Amino acid sequence: MVNTDELLAHCISLSNPEGFDDPRRGKVRDVYALPGDKLAIVSTDRISAYDHILGEPIPCKGQILNLMAAWSLRQVQDIVPVHLIEVPHPNITIAKKCSPIAVEVVVRGHLTGHAWRQYQKGLRSVSGAAMPDGLREFDPFPEPIITPTTKAEAGHDEDISAEQIVASGLISEPVWKKISQTALQLFERGRKIAASRGLILADTKYEFGFNGQTLTLIDEIHTPDSSRYFYQEGFDELRAAGKAPVQLSKEYIREWLRENGFTGQPGEVMPQLPDEIRLNVFQKYARLYEQITGEAFTPVITPDFDYTLAAVLNKFMA
Ligand SMILES: Nc1ncnc2c1ncn2[C@@H]1O[C@H](COP(=O)(O)OP(=O)(O)OP(=O)(O)O)[C@@H](O)[C@H]1O
Ligand SMILES: [Mg+2]
C-alpha cells in the first residue's frame, strides 16, 4: 500500500502536458479536444463545494471518480448510448465529443439538499416538480422526481422547470420527453445497483449531449461528486430516531466547510483543508468506489502525470 505522504504529494491539481494548448478546464476536469471528434477528459484531484474550487486537492479523487464513472457508464449502455470509448489511464477517459445540452438533469429519490432547503421554506415544488406534504428531511418521495437546473457558464446553476425548458426552446419537447424518460430509467438502474451493495442512491445528476443525431449520456454518472448515497443499514432506525442517515458522498466536505465558516457566500474566507481532512475525504471516496464496484481500490501513483498525459494524447493525435 502506498503511504499517505506519497498520496498527498502526488495529487493532480492542474494538467499541463508539454506541446498541447490549454484544455477547457471545468471545476474538476481538464478536457482536451482530439482529432476524429474525440475528447480526452482528465479527472484531476480538484474538489469543488458550494460552486468554489477548494485550495487543496484530494488524493486519488480523480482516479476514483474517473474509474467509478466508467464502471457506472458500462452498466447502463443498454439504456442509452454513452460517451465512453476507453480508459487509457486511471485519470483519463477517451470519450465521444458531443454537443452538450445546457441542462443538468437532477433526479431525486429522497428529500435532501436543495430540495429540502426549498421544502423548509414552505415550498412544495422544486423546478416545477411537486413535492407532497408531510415529509421530513431524507424521506423518500413516493416516486423519484426530476428537478432540472440550467448549466451556467459561470456561477450558480438555476432551477428550471420542464415547461420552461421546452418553452424557451432550450430543448424540443420530444427530446425532453426522451431525456426525462431516460433519466428515470438510469436512476432506477443506479438504485438497483446501489441496493444490491447495501446503499441507497438518494439523488443524482445526469448530463446529455448529441453525438451527431444520437442522444448520448456524457460526463460522469453515479459518482460521489454527482450523487448522494446513504447506507441502507441503520437507515430506518436513524430515521425513526429523527437522525440523519450515514452518507457516503461529498456531504462530508460540505459539512466540514460549514463548521469552518464557509458556505460559498461573498466575504467568507475559504479555509485551508488540513491533510487529515484531505485523507478522510480520500478514504470516503475509496470506500464508496469499493462498495459500489465490489473491487478493491488500488491507488496508481504517476510520478510525472503531464509526461504520461502527453504520451496518451500523442497516441490519439495520429
Ligand atoms: N462527451 C462530452 N462531450 C462534450 N462535453 C462533455 C462531455 N463529457 C463531459 N463534458 C463536459 O466537460 C466538462 C467536464 O468538466 P467538469 O465536470 O469539471 O465541469 P463542471 O465544473 O462540472 O462544469 P463546467 O465546465 O460547466 O463548469 C463539463 O462541462 C461537461 O459538461
Ligand atoms: Mg461536472
Which conformational region is residue 203 in: left (phi greater than 0), alpha (psi within -120 to 50 degrees), or beta?
A: beta
Read off the pLDDT of each residue in 189-210 and give the average, rounded to a whole number. Answer: 98
On the question of pLDDT at 157 being above 90, the answer is: no
For residue 171, what pLDDT is reported? Answer: 96
One-letter amino acid for residue 23 of the chain = P
What integer best gives the mean pLDDT of the chain? 96
Q: Is the CB of 178 under 6 A from ligand 1?
A: no
On the question of pLDDT at 53 being above 80, the answer is: yes
For residue 209, what pLDDT is reported? Answer: 98
Pocket-testing residue among 12, 13, 14, 29, ligand 1, by greatest number of atoms within 8 A of Cβ? 29
Domains along the chain?
4-98+252-317 (3.30.200.20), 100-240 (3.30.470.20)
Q: All 3 cell numbers of residue 87? A: 480508459
For residue 9, what pLDDT is reported? Answer: 95
Read off the pLDDT of each residue in 141-148 and give the average, rounded to a whole number. Answer: 98
What is the band of 248 on the pLDDT scale with cuts at 50, 70, 90?
Answer: confident
Q: Whole-angstrom Cα distance, residue 248 to residue 198?
A: 12
What is the band of 138 on the pLDDT scale with cuts at 50, 70, 90?
Answer: very high
Q: Whole-angstrom Cα distance, residue 139 to residue 143?
A: 11
Read off the pLDDT of each residue in 184-203 and give the average, rounded to a whole number. Answer: 98
Do strands 125-126 and 129-130 pair parallel, antiparallel, or not at all (unpaired)? antiparallel
Model confidence pLDDT, tens digit, residues 270-298:
999 999 999 999 999 999 999 999 999 99
For residue 1, what pLDDT is reported? Answer: 65
Do strands 24-25 and 29-34 pair parallel, antiparallel, or not at all (unpaired)? antiparallel
Contact in structure between 132 and 141 (CB atoms under 8 Å): yes
In the reported structure, the alpha carbon of residue 96 is separated from the centroid of ligand 1 by a whole-number distance in angstroms of: 13
Q: Whole-angstrom Cα distance, residue 158 to residue 153?
A: 11
SS3 (DSSP) at 163: helix
Which carries the bigger pLDDT value, residue 178 or residue 251?
178
For the CA of 225, the nearest ligand:
2
In the reported structure, the alpha carbon of residue 204 is separated from the centroid of ligand 2 by a whole-number distance in angstroms of: 12
Q: All 3 cell numbers of residue 3? A: 503511504
